[in-house]
Amino acid sequence: MVPPPRPVRAVQDTAIYRRPPVTPMGAFFRSLVLPGWAQAKLGRRLTGGIFLAWEGVTLGMSLKADRELQYLKQRGDSAEALEDKRQEREDWLILLAFNHLFAGLEGYVASHLWDFPQDLRIRTAPHGFGAMVSLPIRIR
């Protein structure tokens, strides 16, 4: 006598198909407010640290340029020197603004690709260059 077949259970890998800890727009606005916040929330601590470090550099340099501009005004330097220092301050402020924008966009994309598999490997092929990627496919 043959035993009855055991029921087959569908196994779903919950590590791959989880929801991100923050929505894409939530990640965008978090990193727009404080660069690196969404990246830290998504587990991308190195990327968040880089955004936060660059935030510190650009903020510090724009404050330094502002103080130097005030010093040049008090000293009565030429208009050309004042204009150069104003331009330097504006450049640092633009870099500060772009850091916020890029951190927000990176957080948005990282939230969308949060469950993307990390098994992408590049290795040499017999006749040159090749890449291998494994993508999980869910069939219902």
On whether residue 124 sits in a domain, the answer given is yes
124 — phi, psi (to 5°)?
A: -75, 140
Q: CB–CB of 74/122 below 8 Å?
A: no
On whether residue 70 sits in a domain, the answer given is yes
Which structural domain range is residue 72 located in?
Answer: 24-132
For residue range 86-125, what is the model confidence (pLDDT) as tens digits? Answer: 999 999 999 999 999 999 999 999 998 887 766 656 566 6
On whether residue 103 sits in a domain, the answer given is yes
Per the structure, the count of domains in the chain is: 1
Give the predicted TM-score (pTM) of the model. Answer: 0.69
On whether residue 139 sits in a domain, the answer given is no
Pairwise pLDDT comparison (11 vs 70), residue with the higher score: 70
pLDDT of the residue at 138: 64
For residue range 8-17, what is the model confidence (pLDDT) as tens digits? Answer: 554 444 444 5
On whether residue 3 sits in a domain, the answer given is no
